[in-house]
Structure 1
Amino acid sequence: MSAFARFLNSPTGPKTVHFWAPTLKWGLVVAGLSDTQRPVHKLSGTQNLSLLATGLVWTRWSFVIKPKNYLLASVNFFLTLTAGYQISRIVRFRSAEGDDAKGILKYIIDGQTSE
């Protein structure tokens, strides 16, 4: 059996949702990367916090399930990195604006300043 045929018929191949769901989820990573060009004050802390959390959970889950899904793990790993980078941009921006740690956390969670 050729390598392509093995890939095509594998439990995580393109005939299954285990292939298409992570493939389409790369769109979230691309959107996060395009947000690096967006002004920091327009970034959503809650959205990026949610993306960070889901990326962490699903990266771990990808190695627990049978069959292991490395494509799902990779997309969620990069989703975690992208969201983490955006949160770090928000933290640096709010620090430069004079917010303390409590104000930064409030801004990320509620989208509000500590004023």
Structure 2
Amino acid sequence: MSSVVYKSIIKVADKFVPAKLVPLWNHPAGPKTIFFWAPTFKWALVIAGIGDLQRPPEKLSAYQSTALAATGIIWSRYSMVIIPKNYNLLMVNIFVGATGIYQLIKIYNYRTGLKKQQTQSE
């Protein structure tokens, strides 16, 4: 049922796509496919990660940041192996990985600073 609705929407939308955007529209990883929409919605993770940049390091989760960094790195590699090449997937995963790595560095620096304070106070 949903496939029929989706195909109907695409058929109507095909008429309104400007000539310059037709190659992108018809690309194997273009807006007509899940290969476009899945990474597009994944940008919400990047936005959330950027929102967390202002969060104090004691409130950050090392486990969550590790998971984001690892998935960003793994899926960045995967996006270059699959056919069709999906540069939207590549970019979103680079940013997911980068925000995860940045948060991990922030957590590490915070915890290292705490240990230094403890040893100085003893």
Structure-1-length-normalised TM-score:
0.83
- Is 1:21 matched with 2:44? no
2:97 maps to which of 63, 80, 95: 80
Within 5 Å, give how 1:15-94 maps onto structure 2.
15-94=32-111
Measure the CA separation in 2 of the matches of 1:14 and 1:88. Answer: 36
Give the aligned residue type for 1:67.
P
SS of residue matched to 2:37:
helix
Measure the CA separation in 1 of the matches of 2:55 and 2:96. Answer: 17
Query: 1:105 maps to which residue?
Result: none
Which consecutive residues of structure 2, in runs of 5 or more, have no partner in the other structure?
1-17, 117-122
Measure the CA separation in 2 of the matches of 1:37 and 1:55. Answer: 21
* Displacement after TM superposition at 1:37 (Å): 1.0
* Displacement after TM superposition at 1:2 (Å): 3.0
SS of residue matched to 1:10:
coil
Measure the CA separation in 2 of the matches of 1:21 and 1:56. Answer: 17
Measure the CA separation in 1 of the matches of 2:54 and 2:71. Answer: 23
> Which stretch has the larger CA shift, 1-10 or 31-40?
1-10
Aligned residues: 99
Between structure 1 and structure 2, the one with the greater Rg is: 2
Which consecutive residues of structure 1, in runs of 5 or more, have no partner in the other structure?
100-115
Query: 1:12 maps to which residue?
Result: 29
* Displacement after TM superposition at 1:39 (Å): 1.1
SS of residue matched to 1:97:
helix
